Amino acid sequence: VVRDPRFESLCGNLDVEGFRKRYNFLFENNLPAEREEVQKQLKKARDPKVVCELKNHISWIDKQLKFESAKNTDAVILSAHKKKEKEAAKHGKRPYYLKKYNFFAAEIRKQRLIEKYKKLKASGKLESFIEKRRRKNAAKDHRFMPYRRPNNNGEQQS
């Protein structure tokens, strides 16, 4: 019987942070370089099947990079929360242990939004982003407004 060490408890538990540190070079260097290479191949390609395959590969790379950056921000937020709780415990406060679903659902979303707005403010695009958001919400609200019913009595409204 062959055992797969990935699924055996005898081989130890997965250290997610260690894994991220060890294989960070893939997401920092290799995947962006591979994306550039595939982009060059896409410009040269003429066969529709090859073009479709290359586009799929580029979208896969983009998805991997986006997912990894999201996981990194989640890990940073979680570690900051843990550090803050340790400091509070040192000063005599009782630690607040968030439930996994509770924390990941609400707190991380809030922290991501804070980071997003800070980046937009630093780049000077915050006002335009908020204006776009307002227009989008106004259009959405307008969609649900009831229509005025036509008056079929033959009388004119004044």
Alpha helices in 11-47 (DSSP H): 16-22, 24-25, 31-44
Give the pLDDT score at 52: 96
Contacts of 111 (CB under 8 A, 6+ apart): 73, 77
Distance separating alpha carbons of residues 22 and 17, to the nearest angstrom: 9
Domain layout of the chain by residue ranges: 1-96, 98-144
Give the pLDDT score at 104: 64
Angle, helices 108-123 vs 48-90, to 10°: value is: 110
Per-residue pLDDT of the chain in tens (158 residues, 90 and over written 9): 788 887 788 888 878 788 888 888 888 899 999 999 999 999 999 999 999 999 999 999 999 999 988 888 888 888 888 888 889 889 888 877 666 666 667 877 888 889 889 999 999 999 999 999 999 999 998 888 887 777 777 665 55
Give the pLDDT score at 102: 64
Residue with tokens 């040269």: 44
pTM, two decimal places? 0.60
Give the pLDDT score at 46: 93
Neighbours of 58 (CB within 10 A): 17
Give the pLDDT score at 155: 60
Give the pLDDT score at 100: 65
